[in-house]
Amino acid sequence: MKFGKTPDEIENERKRTLVFAFSAIGTLLLCIFGVVSLTQGRVVLFYVLFLFIAIVLAVSFVIKKTPHIRPASLFLSSTLLCLTWYLLLSGGADGSGVYWTYSLSMLMVILAGPKVGSIYMGLYLLVSLVFILGPFSFVYNYSNAEVTRIIASSVALYVLILTSELIRIGSYDAISEASENHRHLANTDPLTGLLNRSGIMVALKKGTLKKSAIMAILDIDEFKSVNDSYGHDFGDLVLVRLSRVLTDNVKGGDLTVRWGGEEFLLVFYDISMDSSKMLMNKIKDEFEKIVFNRNDTTLSVTFSAGLAIFDDISTFDATIKLADERLYHAKNTGRNKIIADDELHAVTMKEAQA
């Protein structure tokens, strides 16, 4: 089953697209205001606007190149906060600089996120109030009614945008959780909790094969007669116990897979063929020692396994085929054994790939 991008990747892309869209629109508007300011003789305003255009373009370039857009987004929001302060306090063109405050409400939620955005907005309103109401000659002279309107409308706009963003985040989280659950179910065997066939492909594609690995395919011996004699539920119990023994014996990065029915597949990383054969024999002995009780009788169950070197994901099918051949060799020569005939590897691998 194909799931495409993860929720985190989708969210990251959404933020990246938003930053680009706002940068493009913001740059265009600032360009127009800058040129108008210049024609009206407001040279300082012209330089300030073009300085911010340069910063916005530089940050957009960085965001395009980096996979982690959070630091760049925070830098961009801090920069826009400073621009808004400048426009509000200086008045921009005849007091119209205050209108930029409204876009800041939206940009803070989108670029900085609800939490940091709220801190920035609170800081913005507090500092702005102190300067507007204080005895500072360089601050544009707003009337009391204008100050009240600026603060009230900024807060109202920010609260509305914040509420809609929090509702969006709530629904997005619920959808993401459902999607992650489906992804997990699609890649996991429900009985044992191990990876299933599609799960191993996802795991292999995620982590490229470092060095070489060893693949083992194991199959429970005479499992049909276990099922026939003691019932399918008991057979399930045996499968679950074997999966526990396997997971208890592998390292963190190794893969443990229910390949199908009573067959399991293991991928051991950073280990030699000799060591993995020893490990498989240890697992085999541990499993054989488990005493299962059923209907006043006790029994022990065994498995056989075939091992093969797994060099590269492109040789996955050929490696399985080779490990399978060794497994069936183990079955045909008495069962309850591990076969890892490495000398045959080169020759048989060639045949398997042919």
Ligand X SMILES: Nc1nc2c(ncn2[C@@H]2O[C@H](COP(=O)(O)OP(=O)(O)OP(=O)(O)O)[C@@H](O)[C@H]2O)c(=O)[nH]1
238-273 b/e (C-beta count within 10 Å ≥ 16 → b): bbeebbebbeebbeeebbbbbbeebbbbbbbbebeb
292: contact with ligand X by CB under 6 A: no
331: contact with ligand X by CB under 6 A: yes
> Which of 172/223 has CB closer to ligand X?
223
286: contact with ligand X by CB under 6 A: no
DSSP H stretches of helix in 66-196 = 70-90, 100-107, 113-133, 144-186
Interface pick for ligand X out of 224, 244, 282, 350 (rule CB under 6 A): 224
| Interface segment toward ligand X; rule CB under 6 A; list 89-97, 109-117, 147-155, 216-224 | 216-224
Residues 6+ apart with CB under 8 A from 129: 147, 151
Q: How far is the CB of 186 from ligand X (least distance, A)?
A: 18
Q: Quick count: other Cβ atoms within 10 Å of Cβ 173?
A: 12
> Which of 132/330 has CB closer to ligand X?
330
240: contact with ligand X by CB under 6 A: no
Find, among 270, 281, 273, 263, the residue nearest to 328 by Cα: 263
Question: Would you call 116 helix, strand, or coil by DSSP?
Answer: helix
Q: How far is the CB of 347 from ligand X (least distance, A)?
A: 26
H/E segment holding residue 35: helix 7-39
Interface pick for ligand X out of 34, 69, 242, 262 (rule CB under 6 A): 262
The structure tokens 């539920």 sit at 233
> Which of 26/235 has CB closer to ligand X?
235
219: contact with ligand X by CB under 6 A: yes
122: contact with ligand X by CB under 6 A: no
235: contact with ligand X by CB under 6 A: yes
Q: How far is the CB of 332 from ligand X (least distance, A)?
A: 9
| HSE-up (13 A, CA, CB side) for residue 320 | 13
Residues 6+ apart with CB under 8 A from 292: 234, 237, 238, 241, 298, 299, 300, 301
Find, among 299, 187, 282, the residue nearest to 237 by Cα: 299
Binding mask 169-198 for ligand X (x = CB under 6 A): ----------------------x-------
Q: How far is the CB of 219 from ligand X (least distance, A)?
A: 5
324: contact with ligand X by CB under 6 A: no
Interface pick for ligand X out of 11, 180, 222, 342 (rule CB under 6 A): 222
Residues of the shown chain interacting with ligand X in the complex, contacts defined by CB under 6 A: 191, 219-224, 227, 232, 235-236, 239, 261-262, 331, 335
